[in-house]
Amino acid sequence: MPDALSRAGVLPAGVLPAGVLPAGVPAPAFTLPATPDQSLSLGDLRGKPVILAFYPADWSPVCGDQMALYNEVLPEFHRYGAQLVGISTDGVWCHAAFAAERRLHFPLLADFEPKGGVARRYGVYRETEGTSERALFVIDGEGVIRWSYVSPLGLNPGADGILDALDALAAKNSAGAAS
Amino acid sequence: MSTLKPPVGPDDHGQGPADAPVTLVEYGDYECPYCGEAYPVLKAVQAEMGDRLRFVFRNFPLTQQHPHAGRAAEFAEAAAAIGRFWEAHDLLYERQDALDQASLHAYARMIGLDDAHLAAAFEGRYDEKIRRDFSGGLRSGVNGTPTLFVNGERYDGPRDVDSLLTVLRAAAAERI
């Protein structure tokens, strides 16, 4: 029941539902279509932080707001050298129409075949709905998850958690460089 | 998460006493239809709360979605520089369907903001302040517009007059 508990706000902040990959775990590798004729691999993004934003579906109002918000925050993400990637179980043509309509300037990956395969490996697939959770992962340049978060499904998680995680990553890197 | 950072300060646009028991902060976009819906509600709430409420507006323009939101915010900040922020704010929300540049120039004339000043605003004179508002909003957990904070805590509840009054009165009572 951890999912239902966290959605009801019963789980204290910072506690992940069971099965969700936590900080410190290597991010599972994947390759997914980004457009009808191009794919993107997590490995291609090595060396810089990656923000994986799993969301349930294109077009649903909250997702729209969440992806639209991240679209506005891109310059801020880029200041950290971070690459944002959206992932849902929608197909490439659906993503293409959604991205064009909302003028999104970051890739949306289609976790479509096998359905939700990547979401399952990150522990954020919802069997009943056939979609992913609304989940965020910040991965460092070495491919290790540094922060993960599952939002109540109907609630746009905003960008503050991501920015805090990127701050922590930047602080760690500069401390590492100084020592 | 979802606590207002930075707290309300002298750079903010506020209405109502600085020592009011409740401060309501709105992060808003002048072209956002939901902010437009909230506008008369917040006016009614302010009228009802009177001196017990300070209302603060911060910029959160979603410029990729709303092509006029950036210019509208620049216009309002220029108006603030001549002491006419709230007139500009109210004009923008009352005429949300006409926020193109010609309209903004007309509104500027209505509130005594000269063309050169507005042009400077459009060239970015106040963009630093707008960006600061936006960035503080992101850090505070603003996840769309409008986002409201009651005494520094994000409010995610319904945005009708009665619900807001209930929450604001409870917050006021806590302070007494």
What does the domain layout of chain A look like in residue ranges? 25-178
- Class of the B13-174 domain? alpha beta
Burial (Cβ within 10 Å: 0-12, 13-18, ≥19) of residue A55: buried
From chain B, pick out residues whose CB is under 8 angstroms from the CB of A76.
135, 138
DSSP β-ladder status, A145-151 and A134-139: antiparallel
pLDDT of residue A64: 58
From chain B, pick out residues whose CB is under 8 angstroms from the CB of A106.
none
Delimit the domains of chain B by residue range: 13-174
DSSP β-ladder status, A83-88 and A134-139: unpaired
Compute how many other C-beta atoms are within 10 angstroms of the C-beta atom of residue A85: 20
| Four-CA torsion A17, A23, A29, A33, nearest 10 degrees | 60
Nearest CB neighbour to A68, from listed B1, B62, B138:
B62
Q: Is B6 helix (H, G, I), strand (E, B) or coil?
A: coil
Say if A152 is an interface residue toward chain B (CB within 8 Å): no
Cα A77 to Cα A48: distance, rounded to the nearest angstrom = 11
Local confidence pLDDT in tens for the 176 residues of chain B: 588 999 999 999 999 999 999 999 999 999 999 999 999 999 999 999 999 999 999 999 999 889 999 999 999 999 999 999 999 999 999 999 999 999 999 999 999 999 999 999 999 999 999 999 999 999 999 989 999 999 999 999 999 999 999 999 999 998 76
Q: Sorting pLDDT into bands at 50, 70 and 90, what band is A177?
A: low
- Class of the A25-178 domain? alpha beta
Q: Say whether A63 is catalytic.
A: yes
Nearest chain B Cα distance for residue A160, angstroms: 5
Is pLDDT larger for residue B39 or for residue A176? B39
| ipTM rounded to 2 decimals | 0.82
pLDDT of residue A125: 97
Nearest CB neighbour to A160, from listed B64, B140, B156:
B140
Phi, psi at B56, each rounded to 5°: -125, 135
From chain B, pick out residues whose CB is under 8 angstroms from the CB of A161.
1
Q: Which residues pair with B158 in a beta bridge?
A: none
Say if A156 is an interface residue toward chain B (CB within 8 Å): yes
Chain A residue with Cα closest to B157: A155
